[in-house]
Amino acid sequence: MADYSTIKELAEKYTDDTAEVLARLVQTRSYGGEEGAVLKVIEEYCKQYGFHEVRYDGLGNLIARIGSGERAIAFDAHIDTVQTGDVSQWTRDPFSGAIEDGYVHGRGTSDQKGGAASMLTAGRILVETGYTGPYSVYFTFTVFEEDCDGMCWRYIVEEEGLRPDFAVSTEPTSCRLYRGHRGRMEMEVAFKGISAHGSAPERGENAAYKAARTVLALEQLNEELEPDVDRFLGKGTIVVSQVGAHGPSQCAVPDTASLYIDRRLTWGETKELAVEQVKKAGGADIESVTIPHYENTSWKGTTYGQELYFPTWKIDEDHPLVQSGVSAYTGLHGKPPIVDKWTFSTNGVAICGKYEIPLIGFGPGDEDQAHAPNERLRVADLPIATSFYAALPHELPQ
């Protein structure tokens, strides 16, 4: 049983420290493939706080550990961020890390360096309170999530051989407990036509028109998609995110066209089903539907990749991990947490979706701050997340 009063007291005591850590992480830019500098900062804190093991894997994820139990739980935070977008929409420097008006400001505060900062302080508390439970507590600070969510965990499981019994994603949940989200996939749709001079389009076959008909059919498909049976994750969606058409010149009928598709998958929907739905919607107009392959080279120089398919996941509300999370939160705050789900996607697509490692989510910050200008995170969320992470290992099934 956790000493809730001590954990909560320490989390609150270290609130300013956690905010300062978060500010420093925000000030250290970390776009995908450029995470090395911010990981060095995190490594410094892990060593300063007395983590028992601190190492990098071959891809460049930072893996830290406290305790030496035979079972394992992993707390995960991706430390790459999206870019700033139109800087004129920001009222502060996106990398200021300013702590003002009860918030930490800047790119990556909610998505999701706030989770990383809270993990560091939770580890500090576990060390200071002499944690010796039956679980080794891993803290994974992972790369490339924004480009290819879950790929970092594919490396951790398949190349490093680390497969914990349980895991927690510290993506923003507004300090609620999440137990699932929809999966997703990307698709490329190709169309072929026959070029002809623009003055006589009847001589050709316009690939752009084929693409246009398919776009309208996919708009209708999106309306027809059904929610999952228990209506927890909601309906799947399909969005045409890019459209292209090309021909021999600006005065010619285009002989090729393409669509790029973002498909969100609810429970029970598979990639095979999604591909067939697109093919059916476009019919004879479609030349091919493919799932792209992502590949990139990490800050450590390792090239790695995977298909852009990310499975749906959820665990039941009565699952022992969910109930452990409810117990930890209730012990800290005297009331149970709100249990819900994410709208967006996380590394959970691999951790639970692919590898079936039971996973919950609990993180500081709000989901609607992700990728938005003027991103910020409430300082008050930090000790709530910190104390939850430090208490949870004590509540796990023995």
State whether residue 245 is helix, strand or coil. strand
The pair phi, psi for residue 371, each rounded to 5°, is 70, 10
Q: What counts of helices (H) and strands (E) characterise the chain?
A: 10, 20
Q: Report the first-to-last Cα separation within the chain, whole angstroms.
A: 11
Q: Hey, what are 54's tokens?
A: 């601190």
Bridge partners of residue 65, in order along the sequence: 53, 138
Backbone phi, then psi, for 397, in 5-degree steps? -55, 135
Q: Sign of the C-alpha dihedral, residues 67, 163, 297, 26?
A: negative
Cβ neighbours for 225, distance < 8 A, ≥ 6 positions apart: 235, 236, 237, 238, 266
Fill in the DSSP letter of residue 373: T
Catalytic (active-site) positions:
80, 145
> From CA 40, how far away is CA 18, in angstroms rounded?
17
What ranges make up the beta strands (E) of the chain?
A: 53-56, 62-66, 71-78, 99-100, 103-105, 135-142, 166-169, 177-178, 180-181, 183-192, 237-246, 256-265, 288-290, 293-297, 303-307, 309-310, 313-314, 339-340, 359-361, 376-378
- CA pair distance 135, 64, nearest whole angstrom: 14
Q: Is the peptide bond before 220 cis (omega within 30 degrees of 0)?
A: no
